[in-house]
């Protein structure tokens, strides 16, 4: 997650902006993050807050930006085999917990979010977000981006800090 954030910030404001965000979040200058590194939650959340402050973004805007970059740029580059496994956004969401487990199985102490899925009709899915991190805005942004990835029209709405609704239009 942190390496993806780095790409977003550098694309938006350059290396100096990334370094300023690291500093504001109490990371050492020129900290290098590795893909298999699990950054403690409080440090990752501090970095997200610093990025929002530095780039003038709300958490919702940051969630959308992260989702767009992760789903359409970063994720396919790293996890192409997973993206090709699903034919559409609906299949992806139905398998999201299994996908999170596969992606994080080699990360020590990793606690990926879980989603309890509740169908409210044939085209309306409510995803109940189960995570201590409180990053529902990232989940919403990723759901919106997933529609674009699969070329589908999805209407994604944040219902609360623990739930989002996806209408497959």
Segment 51-61 mean pLDDT: 96
Task: Say how many CA atoms lie within 13 Å of 110 toward its Cβ.
Answer: 17
The span from the CA of 160 to the CA of 168, in Å, is 19
The per-residue pLDDT of the chain, averaged, comes to: 92
CATH number of the CATH domain containing 126: 3.90.1520.10
Q: For residue 163, is it within any domain? A: yes
Q: For residue 67, is it within any domain? A: no
Q: Answer yes or no: is pLDDT of 55 > 90.
A: yes
Predicted structure pTM score? 0.89
Q: For residue 62, is it within any domain? A: no
Q: For residue 149, is it within any domain? A: yes
Q: For residue 80, is it within any domain? A: no
- What confidence score (pLDDT) does residue 107 get? 66
For 63-104, the pLDDT digits (tens) are: 999 999 999 999 999 888 888 889 999 999 999 989 877 777
Least Cα distance to 122 among 158, 167, 88, 89 occurs for 167
Q: For residue 96, is it within any domain? A: yes
Listing DSSP states for 17-63 in one string gives HHHHHHHHTTPPTT----TT----HHHHHHHHHHHHHHHT--HHHHH
CA distances from 23 to 11, 16, 27, 50, 125 (A): 18, 10, 5, 9, 40
Q: Residue 126: which domain range?
A: 89-169
Contact 147, 168 (CB under 8 A): no
Helix (H, G, I), strand (E, B) or coil at 14: coil
Q: Model confidence at 22, in pLDDT bands (50, 70, 90)?
A: very high
Q: For residue 127, is it within any domain? A: yes
Could you give the number of structural domains in the chain? 1
**What are the structure tokens assigned to 162, written together?**
């623990």
Least Cα distance to 169 among 158, 154, 147 occurs for 154
Q: For residue 69, is it within any domain? A: no
């Amino acid at each position: 997650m942190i390496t993806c954030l780095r790409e977003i910030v550098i694309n938006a404001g350059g290396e100096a902006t990334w370094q300023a965000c690291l500093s504001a979040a109490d990371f050492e200058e020129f900290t290098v993050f590795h893909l298999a590194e699990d950054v403690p939650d409080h440090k990752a959340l501090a970095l997200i807050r610093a990025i929002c402050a530095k780039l003038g973004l709300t958490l919702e805007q940051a969630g959308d930006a992260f989702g767009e970059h992760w789903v359409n740029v970063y994720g396919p580059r790293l996890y192409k085999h997973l993206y090709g496994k699903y034919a559409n956004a609906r299949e992806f969401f139905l398998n999201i917990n299994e996908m999170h487990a596969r992606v994080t199985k080699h990360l020590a102490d990793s606690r990926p979010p879980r989603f309890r899925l509740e169908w409210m009709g044939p085209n309306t899915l409510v995803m109940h977000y189960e995570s201590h991190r409180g990053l529902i805005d990232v989940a919403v942004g990723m759901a919106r981006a997933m529609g674009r990835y699969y070329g589908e029209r999805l209407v994604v709405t944040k219902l609360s800090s623990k739930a989002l609704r996806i209408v497959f239009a």
